[in-house]
Amino acid sequence: MKKIALVLKGYPRLSETFIAQEIRALELRGFEISLVSLRHPTDTSTHPIHQQINAAVLYLPEYLHVEPLRVCRALFKVLGKYSLGKVFKQFIKDFKRDPSRGRVRRFGQSIVLVAEMPAGIEQMYAHFLHTPASVTRYAALINHLPWSCSAHAKDIWTSAEWDLREKLQELQWLATCTSANHQYLQSLASDPDKVHLVYHGLDFQRFAAQQRIARAEVDGSDPEQPIRIISVGRAVPKKGYDDFLQALAQLPARLHWRFTHIGGGELLTSLQQQAQTLGIADRIDWLGALPQLQVLQAYRESDLFVLASKIVADGDRDGLPNVLMEAQSQSVCCLATDISGIPELIDSGDNGLLVKPNDPQGLAVALTELISDGARREQLGLRGQQQLHQRFDVKIGIDQLQKLFLPDHA
């Protein structure tokens, strides 16, 4: 089976379970994976899926000046390659359009990757079309290897068009996880057939549906039985937690609720301060990043999952957040915003509810409706679980990837 070097920005990461899920699934299909990480991990724990992955990890120098001898040894080893001069010209061309330290770092990391590449690699594959794909591209060009990529959200919408066009020109194929991404990337590609829509899906062995205690009778009217609202996601601008806190503060005083947030992120402190200012801090639990088994248990103990995603100033946005699928797998009713790939998962009013982004008042109206109507919450949650199993099984996406990696065997 094919030997693949899979390049990631960081590994392992608690927030990228969909990538770990894919790696393990490809290993189970017989692919020999070597992981390449541009950064060392910062999370203090891992998910069970990470313990199941057999692939060894090569950590490249995160900053070139920290490991100068390693970089120099790599450059000395690679200097004899005829292709290096051609690729260096490409780097200079790129640097003129993107004169950043990050661009230099990517080229330096690619040199180290070429020098330390595991033996027998037949194809390179990057997750994310920005930094990891740049390192992959330079290394693949030097080593004359085919390369491919999976693109997701920020890596697409915050990258320059020239960069995307040139990568799409050179790579073998690209997989992306929403129709909006698919249409945009096809519009930039000289060969649109290179771009494939591949949903991540969910592994229903890891996210097995257990009997969740349905609380259709709970309508927020009893202070002893508050509605349990949950959200899982990094505290970053595109997740819209500032809008969500405003919406919670607008809920009628007669409704009783508790909100639990799971996830790290740069905005945690400011969001906690916002909750204090809004007078709702005593009804919120901030749990930080948690291992997957604890997150799964938290879903099962919740009545409503909310994610107020939005598009921020630099174009960054969610793709199709896996946390929505995770919540649906446990029959939790989902309330989200109608951006990016979210409407591909949630048909508003049928298997969840969608509202406009950047609209705390509209979100508050939807929250009031779902908190007050337990029967509807449970109905939407069960319908979401049914649709998820029909359309978003991880095996479907892995079948597609296997055909892309092994076109002659399709």
- The whole-number pLDDT of residue 284 equals 98
Query: Is 227-391 the same fold as 3-201+393-409?
Result: yes
What class has domain 227-391? alpha beta
Cα 359–chain centre separation: 24
pLDDT along the chain (410 residues), means of 10: 95 89 95 97 85 96 96 94 91 96 97 97 97 98 96 94 97 96 97 96 86 86 96 97 98 97 96 98 96 92 97 92 96 96 96 98 98 97 96 94 87
Domain residue ranges in the chain: 3-201+393-409, 227-391
Tokens representing residue 252 in the block: 């009628």
> What span, in angstroms and rounded, lies between the C-alpha atoms of 107 and 91?
7
pLDDT at 44: 79
Amino acid at 102: G
CATH architecture of 3-201+393-409: 3-Layer(aba) Sandwich (3.40)
State the pLDDT at residue 376.
Answer: 97
Q: Give me the DSSP letters along 363-403.
A: HHHHHHHHHH-HHHHHHHHHHHHHHHHHH-BHHHHHHHHHH
The first and second tokens of residue 174, run together, are 């690209």
pTM of the model as a whole = 0.87
**Which residue, among 64, 142, 140, has the nearest Cα to 103 in the 3D structure?**
64
Q: What is the pLDDT of residue 33?
A: 98
What's the distance, CA 363 to chain centroid?
24
CA 269, CA 235: separation in Å to the nearest integer?
Answer: 9
Q: What is the pLDDT of residue 410?
A: 56
Q: Where are the alpha helices (DSSP H) in 255-359?
A: 268-278, 292-300, 322-329, 342-345
